[in-house]
Structure 1
Amino acid sequence: MKKLMVATCAIAWAGLSSSAFAQEKNYGPGVTDTEVKIGQTMPYSGPASSFAAIGRAMTAYFQKVNAEGGVNGRKINLISLDDGYSPPKAVEQTRRLVESEEVLAIVGTFGSPTNFATQKYLNAKKVPGLFLGTGANRVSEPATYPWSMGWQPNNHAKGVIYAKYLLKERPNAKVAVLFQNDDFGRDHLKGFRDGLGDKAASMIVKELSYEIAEPTIDSQILILKATGADVFLDISTPKFSAQAIKKMAETKWDALHLLSDAAGSISSTLVPAGLDNSKGVITVAFRKDPNDAAWVDDAGMKEYLAFMKQYMPEANPSETYHVFGYATAQTFIHVLTNCGDDLTRENLMKQATSIKDLVLPIMLPGIKFNTSPTRYTPMSQEQLMQFDGVKWKPIGEVIDAEK
């Protein structure tokens, strides 16, 4: 009888333990014991197709994670669809991902127009949109969009960082500003003004905008040069930044040229402008550049290059958009790991808004990720970089927009 009671108790305890363990697993859409299904849209075609490298790198990185056993025993199934950089197409594809594929979350979708188009829908459905590839401020406003989170420093922060740099290095500067007449340009400019504070009125001598459909910004450059400004804040995209660099060289406007990081590509901006003309321009960066020999012996860079060789052997490892996708995927893996077996959309957002001093080895030294329920911008730090005619070189210390 005693043996029977012991056996019965053991069976009952085992049943309770099994039940308790089962209750610890809490799954949302797209999750099983063996898989986590997530989605994204990317411009694999259309005018922004060069950014498709981000999606390809994320796909390849998740393949690497899966080959190594997945996350907490589950494989990552990323469904990456083409949106052609078209907002209506992005909405159509995102609806498919949420309603037909039933993904747990949207992760890493690139582009401001495409993310703007889907943001209200995802928030209404309470679907996380995590580590979205845009610097637009509105993707990281928890009070308005609690289910959306950006990844890189937002455009307001970049403006603040330039302001902090000038207040320290050139407090008596006269600044002329050119900005793209959209959220990208206006967010940067507001950050710059906010960063200058009371000195904005005296330091900013002229602001001019341009429309992205304009063929040239030559007339704006001439007007800004005529102000006598000795600093030029250029909040433009590669085509217009290249025009600005060339026009400044032609007219011998010897102002310190601060470029948006959107125009920081050597091949897309500085080569068309002329490398000699581009000497001395400054931009900001947060990730290591595979083109920079300074990282040839760096452990993080070696790890990245080994990944590229094994999982993207046909791709160009020097393309910095691959680094972008690689690091975005690493950030998501960090959050997913912290979710454990509570893989609901609610807990995914909870973990995404609880990142503390995360350091990724492919980021520049000093760059850390931090989030909270009221802070949806994982990065607020940038390193200023100056072009020496061949490559970007870091200048000064990493600047934090929030400190």
Structure 2
Amino acid sequence: MRRFPGSRLHALGIALSVLAAIPAQAQGAAKYDTGADDKTIKIGTTAPLSGPVSAFAQIAKSAEAYFRKINDEGGVNGRRIQMIIADDAYSPPKTVEQTRRLVESDEVLLIFGGVGTPTNNAVHKYLNDKKVPQLFLGSGAAKWDDPKSFPWTVGWQPTYRDEALAYSRYIRDSHPKAKVGVLYQNDDLGKDYLKALEEGLGGSDQIVSKAPYETTSPTIDTQILLLKSSGADVVLVAATPKFAAQAIRKIGEIGWKPTTIISNVSASISGVLEPAGRENSVGVISSQYLKDSTDPGLKDDPGYKEWLTFMEKYLPDANKSDWLNVYGYTIAQTLVTTLKAAGNNLTRANVIKQATNLKDVRLPMLINGTTVNNSPERYTPMTSMRLIRYDGTRWVPFGDLLRN
């Protein structure tokens, strides 16, 4: 054993004392911005706990439940995730108010999973100006993939544009002479679908009728009658769940038989197709990038069984056929992957770096053959989907996996 003379031991002791007095950051250890420390990572979200699309609040509830699971297992790199959910009622002015409170009063590290295109748009510039990450939004608007102008915003799901282009390919291949009618929400959500459908069909000549609606409207009966009178035999319903259910039900009530396509934000059996009437919903087409928790063919699927175990423990009273529980669970897993990759460098700049460098991330409830991938040049993590058709009991996939 090597021995140190007394003077050397004294000098070593002084050196160790000085080193211990140096802050951890100076030693290359943990780095933090507002909202993170050695014990906690504080995140915020706005959700429609009330208002016209309150069904979407389940996204935040299921994500929060997943974070409870992670905390029970020791947290992310030893830190607990604290999620603050603020009700914005799907009202952009309230989104602004609540987001400012989350950032300036609650001092969260990041904003996560906010629901809605108009609501996220209302705080888009504010969060980018403040350099606060706006991550994995509950909206497929194409504008979230703009790293040059808005480098602090990252979407998650396939864009509405990619989805509408997939529907246009289906129409061209299966109904080349179709007369197309479009019911669309009169905001960025609906307009993204309409613009991409026109592009995919090679112009608007094939679209014989366009019927916008407002989210404050009590019904869309007038719009459905307008589409029918136009002679449309294919209808795209670019709508949120309440209005998609109304559209399918009204189409059935008036005895109209168009090929009906609904946006995947409304592809819920329990939330849309059953309220619309199963008999009215048979044959409805949509798209899918998440596994369908109602599919009996998944009973032996490892990813489904993992999700089901989570649901039974952390959301035992929730509706297991509601796809929003799958969505919230999966975006929460994407955030946990990001935070784990950030390690002990929990600065906002490093979080956004990790959130835009996701490589081949496999998550249990993504449809088989797909992974989460993005890059600093293309932020959108999900770009693959497949078409599905409702048979009266379940969604049945058809055609090839579509990659954009």
> What TM-score do you get using the length of structure 2 for normalisation?
0.89
1:32 alignment partner, SS class: coil
Calculate percent identity across the aligned residue pairs.
48
Amino acid at match of 1:280: G
Most deviating of 53-62 and 166-175: 166-175
1:145-180: CA deviation from partner (whole Å, max 9, x where unpaired): 221122212211211111222334444444333322
Q: Structure 1 residues 237 and 76 mapped into 2: Cα distance closer, same or farther (>3 Å)? A: closer
CA distance, structure 1, for counterparts of residue 86 and residue 222 of structure 2:
40
* Offset of residue 193 of structure 1: 2.4
The residue that corresponds to 1:27 in the other structure is 32
2:381 alignment partner, SS class: coil
Q: Structure 1 residues 211 and 92 mapped into 2: Cα distance closer, same or farther (>3 Å)? A: closer
Please say if 1:339 is aligned against 2:342.
yes
* Offset of residue 82 of structure 1: 2.5
Most deviating of 381-390 and 115-124: 115-124
Amino acid at match of 2:383: S
Q: Structure 1 residues 233 and 123 mapped into 2: Cα distance closer, same or farther (>3 Å)? A: same
The residue that corresponds to 1:190 in the other structure is 195
Amino acid at match of 1:346: A
Amino acid at match of 1:161: A
Q: Structure 1 residues 335 and 298 mapped into 2: Cα distance closer, same or farther (>3 Å)? A: same
The residue that corresponds to 1:55 in the other structure is 60
Q: Structure 1 residues 101 and 218 mapped into 2: Cα distance closer, same or farther (>3 Å)? A: closer
Q: 1:148 aligns with which of 153, 172, 179?
A: 153
CA distance, structure 2, for counterparts of residue 2 and residue 267 of structure 1:
75
| Structure 1: runs of 5+ lacking an equivalent | none
CA distance, structure 2, for counterparts of residue 43 and residue 201 of structure 1:
34
| Structure 2: runs of 5+ lacking an equivalent | none
1:396 alignment partner, SS class: strand
**In 1, are the aligned partners of 2:52 and 2:215 still within 8 Å (CA)?**
no
Q: Structure 1 residues 23 and 233 mapped into 2: Cα distance closer, same or farther (>3 Å)? A: same
CA distance, structure 1, for counterparts of residue 387 and residue 130 of structure 2:
39
CA distance, structure 1, for counterparts of residue 18 and residue 389 of structure 2:
65
Please say if 1:244 is aligned against 2:250.
no
Amino acid at match of 2:69: K
1:376 alignment partner, SS class: coil
Q: Structure 1 residues 219 and 82 mapped into 2: Cα distance closer, same or farther (>3 Å)? A: closer
Q: 1:114 aligns with which of 110, 116, 119?
A: 119
Most deviating of 341-350 and 202-211: 202-211
Amino acid at match of 2:327: F
1:61 alignment partner, SS class: helix
Most deviating of 359-368 and 19-28: 19-28
The residue that corresponds to 2:110 in the other structure is 105
CA distance, structure 1, for counterparts of residue 175 and residue 107 of structure 2:
53
1:173-203: CA deviation from partner (whole Å, max 9, x where unpaired): 443333222211110111222333xx33554
Please say if 1:66 is aligned against 2:71.
yes
The residue that corresponds to 1:84 in the other structure is 89
Q: Structure 1 residues 81 and 211 mapped into 2: Cα distance closer, same or farther (>3 Å)? A: closer
CA distance, structure 2, for counterparts of residue 50 and residue 178 of structure 1:
20
**In 1, are the aligned partners of 2:52 and 2:216 still within 8 Å (CA)?**
no
Q: 2:167 aligns with which of 162, 167, 190?
A: 162
The residue that corresponds to 1:361 in the other structure is 364
Please say if 1:323 is aligned against 2:326.
yes
2:136 alignment partner, SS class: strand
